[in-house]
Chains A and B, each alone.
Chain A
Amino acid sequence: MTLELVLGAVAAALIGGLAAIERKGALQLMLSRPIVLSPALGWALGDAEGGLVLGVPLELIFLGGVNLGGSLPANETLLAAALTSALVPAGMAAGTGVDAPLAAFGLALLYPLATAGRRLERAAELRNAALSDRALERAASGDASTLWLNLRGLLLPFAVTASICFACAILSPLLASARSSFPPRLVSGLTGAWHAVWALAAASAIRAIRDPRAAVFATAGFVLVLGAAALLNALP
Chain B
Amino acid sequence: MTAAESVAEAPRPRVSFLALLRVFWRSLFLQAAWNPHGMQNLGFAFAMQPALRELYPDAAARARAAERHLEFFNCHPYLAAAIVGGAVRLEEDVARGAADPRRVSAFKAALGPPFAALGDGFFWLALRPAAALIAAVTEPYLGIYCVLLFLAIYDGVHLAARAWLFFAGYSRGEGIVSAVSRAHIPQSTAFLKGTAAILAGAIAGRSVLIAGLPHRPWHAVLLAALILGIAAVLPRLRLTIALYIALALGLALGGALL
Contact = CB atoms under 8 A, between A and B. Distances in A.
Contacts, number: 355
Given A29-B151, A69-B74, A131 B42 contact: yes
Interface stretch (A1-9, A83-91, A168-176, A185-193): A185-193
Nearest to A33: B132
B57 interface: no
Interface in B52-93: 52, 59-60, 62-63, 65-67, 70, 74, 77-78
Interface string B105-145: 00000000000100010001100110011011001000110
Contacts of B198: 217-218, 220-221, 224
Interface stretch (B4-12, B30-38, B94-102, B172-180): B30-38
Main DSSP-derived SS at the B contact region: helix
Contacts of B52: 144
Interface string B209-229: 111111111011001001111
A136 interface: yes
Contact of A193 (B60, B209, B250): B250
B161 interface: no
B258 interface: yes
Nearest to A207: B234
Given A63-B132, A222-B202, A236-B216, A144 B59 contact: yes
Interface in A111-148: 111-112, 114-115, 125-126, 128-129, 131-133, 135-136, 139-144, 147-148
A148 B249 CA distance: 51
Interface stretch (A10-18, A54-62, A159-167): A54-62
B139 to A, nearest CB: 6
A151 B43 CA distance: 8
B41 A30 contact: no
B45 to A, nearest CB: 5
Given A104-B247, A125-B36, A204 B132 contact: no
B193 A192 contact: no
A36 B150 contact: yes
B208 interface: yes
A56 B155 contact: no
A72 to B, nearest CB: 11
A-B pairs, top 7 by smallest CB distance, nearest first, are A192-B254, A221-B201, A236-B212, A196-B250, A225-B205, A189-B255, A153-B33
Interface of A: 21, 24-31, 33, 35-36, 39-40, 48-49, 52, 55-56, 59-61, 63-64, 66-70, 74, 104, 107-108, 111-112, 114-115, 125-126, 128-129, 131-133, 135-136, 139-144, 147-154, 185-186, 188-211, 213-226, 229, 234-236
